[in-house]
Amino acid sequence: MQKTNSENKQNSKHLPPSVKERLPKYYRTLRALIGTDILRTSSGELGKIMKLTPSQVRQDFSYLGGVGHQGYGYNVKDLYSVIGNAIGIPLNYSAIIVCRKTDFASVLSTDQCFSTRGVNLKMIFTDKCGDFTPSELMKFEDSKKEKLTEQITNQAYLRAADYCRRTGTEIVVLACDKDETDIAAIALADAGVRGIWNFSGKDIEIKDKNISVLNLNLHDILLGICSEITNIRQNLPNE
Amino acid sequence: MQKTNSENKQNSKHLPPSVKERLPKYYRTLRALIGTDILRTSSGELGKIMKLTPSQVRQDFSYLGGVGHQGYGYNVKDLYSVIGNAIGIPLNYSAIIVCRKTDFASVLSTDQCFSTRGVNLKMIFTDKCGDFTPSELMKFEDSKKEKLTEQITNQAYLRAADYCRRTGTEIVVLACDKDETDIAAIALADAGVRGIWNFSGKDIEIKDKNISVLNLNLHDILLGICSEITNIRQNLPNE
DNA sequence: TAGATTGTTAATCGATTAACAATC
DNA sequence: TAGATTGTTAATCGATTAACAATC
């Protein structure tokens, strides 16, 4: 049973990493177009908005199967839905936040990171202020965020791992102390968590190929900016 | 006056983007080695820690000039210093934060993002709670963070741009509302800011090649994790 | 039909890896 | 000297861009 080229490409197994990385931004761009009632687009228009060549846009979309129409372009809503499916939006993942103080959770909640992307933020576990549902956290907004109804006897990541095991929560945003990163990662992986967004400052290296880890190091990002600035200045004067 | 290959590579103008992106992580790794009193290393050891091939590590360092010693490896402190110079650590950049509420600034300050990387965080400008020095912000910690000594009449980004112009501040962390992103970016660029770390959720596109912008979109990152999870699951069952 | 725009193939470009002579 | 490890060159791999036939 021979597969055609197109069938092969449609299989997300063959999505190259570079393309997969661009999906969220395509999704965001299409979302914005829908928001302004633009319901038809083209590789040229999307390329212009996203600073990509039309060629690359078409090449990228070709991995999602025949989603465009020759001579017409792309139906924005269809494309939005196809990319959403590739990302797994309809699977309605659940997430929790593990952090030290409420300020961290507050930033992500205010940003509506989860709600606008179909991810269900269920709980916030903090080391210092107790545990919150997102709506409880919002109630405390702009006031002292402490809710110590019972004595906190263990670390937030332990309560979080327990919660994930019981509820099948897939995604954990981890902003624990660097000293706890390794042990927290093990506990969460053991609890069946499938994705960790790691803000802790120490990279998580998990051998388990079934778990996806994103190490976001704020220090590295800051230095990346310094590096860019330094190089821009150094390069301008010569030649 | 012919340049040798080595002289060419030493010139940071020729640092490929892929290499430049890895510099902050090399820096962080070397910092950790110094912290544990490991003062000699090799491309093999660094590769193991950072999940890179020894070949790539050597290839990367070759762009920084002859920083290693054949048969010996690399002196950790020398390498740390060479990479620090390439990033521009000794230039002691200054930074400010522009955000809506203090929670955002509190997260970055607690993380010691700036202090441990030789970047001088000078002020925090907020829309809702007034302006703070970092030490003022820390004093308010764990309590209601509001400091409205005078009536706030304009947006934080305007006060921030004015401050940057007066003080020559190079870096701005921008976490304003999406609606303000474009106008804030223009104001900051006009004030002579050289690097913007944009958390606002709307990408900044500046034509000016002298300004470095890093658009960090939390929504995109979350969807990147969803996408990974989705693809891991889909790919396991077949074959 | 003429104009527009896709999806795909081929060409180019850049980044990673392998191999190895140089040498500490 | 023997062992280790660099820095560089060449080979491979993957990602981007260009070109164009297919066709709406």
Residues A69-102: pLDDT tens digits? 999 999 999 999 999 999 999 999 999 999 999 9
**CA A190 – CA B82 distance, rounded (Å):** 41
Asked whether the beta carbons of A105 and A128 are under 8 A apart, the reply is no
Question: Which residue intervals of A114-180 are DSSP H helices?
Answer: 134-139, 156-167
- Give B188→chain A minimum CA distance, Å: 15
Q: Residues of B with CB below 8 A from A197's CB?
A: 221-222, 225
Q: How many helices (H) and strands (E) does chain A have?
A: 10, 8
Least CA distance to A116: which residue of chain B?
Answer: B219
Least CA distance to A221: which residue of chain B?
Answer: B24
Asked whether the beta carbons of B26 and B73 are under 8 A apart, the reply is no
Q: What is the mean pLDDT of residues A204-224?
A: 95
Asked whether the beta carbons of B171 and B194 are under 8 A apart, the reply is yes
User: Which residues are CB-neighbours of B153 under 8 A, at least 6 positions away?
Assistant: none
The letter for the amino acid at A1 is: M
Whether pLDDT at B11 is above 80: no
Asked whether the beta carbons of B202 and B220 are under 8 A apart, the reply is no
Q: What is the mean pLDDT of residues B33-46?
A: 98
**Gyration radius of chain A's alpha carbons:** 21
Flag if B221 and A219 touch (Cβ within 8 Å): no
Give the mutation candidate from B148, B223, B236 for the A interface (greatest A CB count, under 10 A).
Answer: B223
- Give B166→chain A minimum CA distance, Å: 19
* Strand D nucleotides within a 7 Å radius of protein CB atoms: 3-10, 14-19, 22-24
Q: What is the mean pLDDT of residues A12-34?
A: 92
* Strand C nucleotides within a 7 Å radius of protein CB atoms: 3-10, 14-19, 22-24
Percent of chain A with pLDDT over 70: 87
> Between B20, B106, B229, which is nearest A227 by CB?
B20
The C1' atom of D5 and the CA atom of B78 lie apart, in whole Å, by 17
The C1' atom of C3 and the CA atom of A71 lie apart, in whole Å, by 8
Whether pLDDT at A186 is above 80: yes
Flag if B220 and A25 touch (Cβ within 8 Å): yes
pLDDT at site B5:
38
Q: What is the mean pLDDT of residues A24-44?
A: 98
Flag if A87 and B214 touch (Cβ within 8 Å): no
Asked whether the beta carbons of A121 and A93 are under 8 A apart, the reply is no
pLDDT at site A2:
34
Q: How far is CA B42 from the centre of its chain?
A: 26
Local confidence band at B146 (pLDDT 50, 70, 90 cut-offs): low
- Give A99→chain B minimum CA distance, Å: 10
Question: Which residue intervals of A168-217 are DSSP H helices?
Answer: 181-190
CB atoms within 10 A of CB B66: 11
Could you report the per-residue pLDDT of A123-158, keeping only the tens digit for each? 999 999 899 999 999 886 545 555 555 566 789 999
* Mean pLDDT of the residues in chain A: 90
Flag if A110 and B100 touch (Cβ within 8 Å): yes
CB atoms within 10 A of CB A13: 12
Whether pLDDT at B141 is above 90: no
Flag if A212 and B229 touch (Cβ within 8 Å): yes
The C1' atom of D17 and the CA atom of B18 lie apart, in whole Å, by 19
Give the mutation candidate from A213, A227, A235, A238 for the B interface (greatest B CB count, under 10 A).
Answer: A227
Which carries the bigger pLDDT value, residue B152 or residue B97? B97
**CA B56 – CA B53 distance, rounded (Å):** 5
Phi/psi zone of residue B68: left (φ > 0), alpha (ψ -120 to 50 degrees), beta? beta
Residue nearest to nucleotide D7 (CA to C1'): B62
pLDDT at site A239:
34
Residue B17 CB closer than 7 angstroms to strand C? yes
**CA A152 – CA B206 distance, rounded (Å):** 48
Q: How far is CA A40 from the centre of its chain?
A: 27
The C1' atom of D6 and the CA atom of A229 lie apart, in whole Å, by 30
Residue A63 CB closer than 7 angstroms to strand C? no
Instruction: Identify the residues numbered 52 to 91 in chain B whose C-beta atom is closer than 7 Å to any atom of strand D.
Output: 54-55, 58-59, 61-62, 66-74
Instruction: Please count the residues of chain B.
Output: 239
pTM: 0.93
